[in-house]
């Protein structure tokens, strides 16, 4: 089937980036959030990011204007039910995602494809709570969405081939690259990335190195563009912990046990950049390590 209209649930860091790339690729986007203020901020951020792309010559001023004209917003979840494709991009908690899909079901079109931008939760399990597990997939974008080229496509046990082929075509139209993953905890990227971040936190916890030495070691010794603790702050320590818990619970292997220091930071509300404190303190002019 051809996808023309896209509904995005959640206007946070990931949701606004997803709306941005779909509008730029020519899709009509309806962005939903429970907060009108969050929607207003999201649209302003998309506008600024498109303006930045235009200033760098990545897109034209006409592209910028046309993309903004394709984005509408709503605080009513039912409004997006008429979309050809729906992308849930709410917080990484399974109960929240299940509630969203249950609330959407009465308002969906028969042909609507449902997807989740989850970074770790079982697609098969989410799909089983809907009326269309065959038209349900994981559609995992990387952050920041306008910059990162990869999209993970995750088929649940019931996902049919036409749904997979349709989303493969959508990724191609977005100008991105698809990586197909089986439906196992954390899929491909986070199955590899999160244990590395968790091990970096253990390295800090055990006193092997401090924040700066750990990050500098991986940047200069392994040519990573960002150190693992800096990256954890960028992702959000609560998200990192949630993914580690999914890995630990889903695979029952002690190598995925979340570091107690990661848990402590999350309990303190030090979640990284979004709260101004994590492994670095962002309240001044320059980030300062907190350990």
pLDDT averages per 10-residue partition of the chain, 291 residues = 95 95 98 97 97 96 97 97 97 93 97 96 96 98 95 98 98 98 95 98 98 98 97 95 94 97 98 97 96 94
- Set 16, 83, 181, 190: catalytic member: 190
- Set 49, 92, 116, 152: catalytic member: 152
- With 0-12 CB in 10 A as exposed, 13-18 as middle and 19+ as buried, what is 57? exposed
Domain CATH number, residue 60: 3.40.50.720
Nearest to 8 by CA among 66, 77, 63: 77
Q: Which of 138, 156, 181 is the last residue before a domain boundary?
A: 181
Q: Same structural domain for residues 65 and 99? A: yes
Q: Which of 181, 216, 250 is the last residue before a domain boundary?
A: 181
Q: What is the DSSP string of 87-113?
A: EE---S-HHHHHHHHHHHGGG--TTPE
Q: Same structural domain for residues 52 and 92? A: yes
- Set 119, 120, 181, 198: catalytic member: 119
Residues 6+ apart with CB under 8 A from 25: 173, 174, 175
* 190 in catalytic set: yes
Q: What is the dihedral of CA 139, 142, 146, 149, to 10 degrees?
A: -90
Domain CATH number, residue 248: 1.10.1040.10
Q: Which of 125, 154, 181 is the last residue before a domain boundary?
A: 181
Indicate whether 144 belongs to any domain.
yes
Q: Same structural domain for residues 51 and 129? A: yes
* 248 in catalytic set: no
* 119 in catalytic set: yes
H helix or E strand, kind and range, residue 281: strand 280-281
Q: Per residue, what are the HEC states of 111-129?
A: CCEEEECCCCCCHHHHHHC
Q: Same structural domain for residues 116 and 215? A: no
Indicate the number of domains in the chain. 2
Nearest to 270 by CA among 190, 203, 211: 211
* Domain extent at residue 25: 5-181
Q: Same structural domain for residues 228 and 176? A: no
Q: Same structural domain for residues 140 and 17? A: yes
Q: Same structural domain for residues 167 and 72? A: yes
Q: Same structural domain for residues 126 and 34? A: yes
Q: Same structural domain for residues 172 and 250? A: no
* 152 in catalytic set: yes
Confidence at residue 63, expressed as pLDDT on a 0 to 100 scale: 97
Indicate whether 187 belongs to any domain.
no
Indicate whether 160 belongs to any domain.
yes
* Whole-number Å distance between alpha carbons of 224 and 150: 17
CB of 113 within 8 A of CB of 166?
yes
Confidence at residue 131, expressed as pLDDT on a 0 to 100 scale: 96
Indicate whether 189 belongs to any domain.
no
* Whole-number Å distance between alpha carbons of 105 and 269: 34
Report pTM: 0.90
Q: Same structural domain for residues 126 and 49? A: yes
Q: Same structural domain for residues 164 and 39? A: yes
* Whole-number Å distance between alpha carbons of 69 and 26: 10
- Helices 237-251 and 189-205 meet at what angle, rounded to 10? 110
Indicate whether 245 belongs to any domain.
yes
Q: Same structural domain for residues 141 and 275? A: no
Indicate whether 246 belongs to any domain.
yes
Confidence at residue 158, expressed as pLDDT on a 0 to 100 scale: 97
Using DSSP's 3-state secondary structure scheme, residue 154 falls into strand
- Set 32, 122, 140, 181: catalytic member: 140
Confidence at residue 92, expressed as pLDDT on a 0 to 100 scale: 86
Confidence at residue 91, expressed as pLDDT on a 0 to 100 scale: 87
Confidence at residue 25, expressed as pLDDT on a 0 to 100 scale: 98
Q: Which residues pair with 71 in a beta bridge?
A: 29
């Amino acid at each position: 089937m051809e996808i023309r209209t896209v509904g995005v649930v959640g206007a946070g860091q990931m949701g606004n980036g997803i709306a941005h790339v779909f509008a730029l690729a020519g899709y009509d986007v309806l962005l939903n959030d429970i907060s009108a203020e969050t929607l207003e901020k999201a649209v302003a951020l998309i506008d600024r990011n498109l303006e930045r792309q235009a200033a760098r010559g990545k897109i034209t001023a006409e592209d910028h204007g046309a993309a903004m004209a394709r984005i509408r917003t709503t605080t009513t979840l039912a409004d997006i039910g008429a979309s050809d494709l729906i992308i849930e991009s709410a917080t990484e908690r399974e109960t929240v995602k299940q509630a969203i899909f249950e609330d959407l079901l009465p308002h969906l079109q028969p042909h609507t494809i449902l997807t989740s931008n989850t970074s770790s939760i079982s697609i098969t399990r989410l799909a089983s709570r809907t009326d269309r597990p065959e038209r349900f997939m994981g559609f995992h974008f990387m952050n920041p969405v306008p910059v990162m080229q990869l999209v993970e496509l995750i088929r649940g046990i019931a996902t049919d081939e036409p749904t997979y082929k349709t989303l493969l075509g959508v990724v191609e139209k977005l100008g991105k690259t698809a990586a197909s993953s089986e439906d196992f905890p954390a899929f491909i990227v986070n199955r590899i990335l999160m244990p590395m971040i968790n091990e970096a936190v253990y390295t800090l916890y055990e006193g092997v190195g401090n924040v700066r030495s750990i990050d500098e070691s991986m940047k200069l010794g392994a040519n990573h563009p960002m150190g693992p603790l800096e990256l954890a702050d960028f992702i959000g320590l609560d998200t990192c912990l949630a993914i580690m818990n999914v890995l630990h619970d889903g695979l029952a292997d002690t190598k995925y046990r979340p570091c107690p220091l990661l848990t402590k930071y999350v309990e303190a509300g030090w979640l990284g950049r979004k709260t101004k404190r994590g492994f670095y303190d962002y309240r001044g002019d320059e980030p300062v390590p907190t350990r």
